[in-house]
Amino acid sequence: MEKDDRQKDKPQRSGLEWMGAGIEFCGVIAIFCYIGHRLDGFFNTGGPFLLVTGFFISFIGMMYLFYKESK
Amino acid sequence: MLDTGGIVLTQFNPLREVVSRELFTVWGITVSNHMFMVTLAAAILLIALPLAVRGKGLVSRGFGNLIETVCVFIREEMARPFLGEATDRHIGFVWTVFFFVLTLNLLGMVPLDKFITLISGAESHLGGIATANIWVTGSLALVAFFSIHIFGMRQQGVWGYVRNFAPNVPWPMVPFIYFLEVVGAIVKPFALAIRLFANMLAGHVVLGTLLGLIFLFKNYFVGAATVIGVVLMSLLELFVAFLQAYIFTFLTIIFIGFAVKPQH
């Protein structure tokens, strides 16, 4: 009974906010990779180091964001 | 149209309707159709909303009643479960975000440029979907990003906000969780911007592509089928306009909730 009350108190969330989540995930990674690529050119790093950094930052960030949103 | 051995090249470009177009230049600043639509949406809201809610009695009527219903839904059903007692403090911002994004989305459905072309005979670009422009959604997300952190600092104080930036974890985990939170905070505005931009752009490109079939095939059957398809897609786009405004507002509320309630 107590558990039911706790369930009732939890904010009700529909699945609608997950519409387009895949596009969002890929889009954010693409933007960070692009920024990294441009910064590689700007700083003349001699390799795709900042592009790869951008990928990891966006990938980890989006995974953590989705985890927090779904909690 | 060119037919080069099975590859059909056409001059019709479905992106034509969604790209930003230069209108005029004022004091060295180039004004595009999307900037015009953003200004138009702001002007409409500044005029229409105060007029709608202006009433003598406690019970609003007509359009005012509709606005009030939407505002109450956003406050009670969307914001209060996440913001709790802090709801009324931040609800003004949340309402503004919802109505602004919704108005931009709905204005994008109005073929304003086509009406002007029909009436005046000259080609016009006074129209377009501003939320299918990454710079517009990026600006909206940037405003949301700064507001989220400012609300958090106002609620808990700057030091309190920094201390509660990450959830309570055993001390060896603290640097990692702070790193994750900082990365999450950087990614948040990008996620907000991309979601709105991609969904609005995709819908309008599909509409443009469907209309392009008429120019490609040039026959009555395809024309009739395309018109039916475009009408149905437009109805779906109308739903998406409301849905994306709802989602943008909902995510902003969740992020404000993370910032103002340390237990998150």
DSSP letters, B127-145, are ---GGGSHHHHHHHHHHHH
Residue B228's nearest CA partner among B220, B238, B216 is: B220
Inform me whether the C-beta atom of residue B167 falls under 8 Å from chain A C-beta atoms. no
Give the domain extent around B244.
Answer: 2-260
B/e letters for B9-48, b = 16+ CB within 10 Å, e = fewer, are eeeeeeeebbebbebeeeeeeeebbbbbbbebbeeebeee
At which residue do the structure tokens 């016009």 appear? Answer: B124
Note whether A16 contacts B191, CB cutoff 8 Å.
Answer: no
A contact test, residue of B78, B188, B192, B195 with most A CBs within 10 A: B195
Number of domains making up chain A: 1
* Residues sharing a CB contact under 8 Å with residue A63, sequence separation 6 or more, in sequence order: none
Q: Tens digits of per-residue pLDDT, B156-212?
A: 888 888 888 877 788 888 888 888 888 988 998 999 999 999 989 988 899 888 988
Distance (Å, rounded) from C-alpha B150 to C-alpha B139?
Answer: 16
H helix or E strand, kind and range, residue B23 = strand B22-26
Residues 8-67 of A with CB under 8 A from B: 11-12, 16-17, 19-21, 23-24, 27-28, 31-32, 57-58, 60-62, 64-65
The pLDDT tens digits of the residues spanning B45-100 come to: 999 998 888 876 777 778 888 999 999 999 999 999 988 888 999 999 999 999 99
Q: Give the domain range for residue A47.
A: 19-70
Q: pTM of the full predicted structure?
A: 0.85
Q: What is the phi/psi pair of residue B29, to 5°?
A: -100, 125
Task: Enumerate the β-bridge partners of residue B24.
Answer: B31
Q: What is the domain count for chain B? A: 1
Residue in A with minimal Cα distance to B192: A24
At residue B263 the predicted structure's pLDDT band, cuts being 50, 70 and 90, is low
Buried b (16+ CB within 10 A) or exposed e, A23-44: bbbebbbebbbebbeeebeeee
Closest alpha carbon within chain B to A63: B184
The one-letter amino acid code at B200 reads M
CA distance A52 to chain B (A): 15
* Triad B117, B121, B123: Cα angle to 5°: 50
Alpha carbons A8 and A27: distance in angstroms, whole number: 35
Residue A35 lies in a domain: yes
**Residue A44 included in any domain:** yes
d(CA B46, CA B68): 16
Q: Is residue A9 part of a domain?
A: no
CB contact under 8 A, A31 and B190: yes
Average pLDDT, chain A: 81
What are the tokens at A25? Answer: 């995930």
Q: Give me the total of CB pairs closer than 8 Å, taking one residue from chain A and one from chain B.
A: 65
B187 touches chain A (CB under 8 A): yes
Task: List the single best residue of B134, B182, B187, B239 to mutate versus A (max A Cβ within 10 A).
Answer: B187
Task: Give the residue, A37 or B12, on which the prediction is more confident.
Answer: A37
- Over 60: is that where the pLDDT of B127 sits? yes
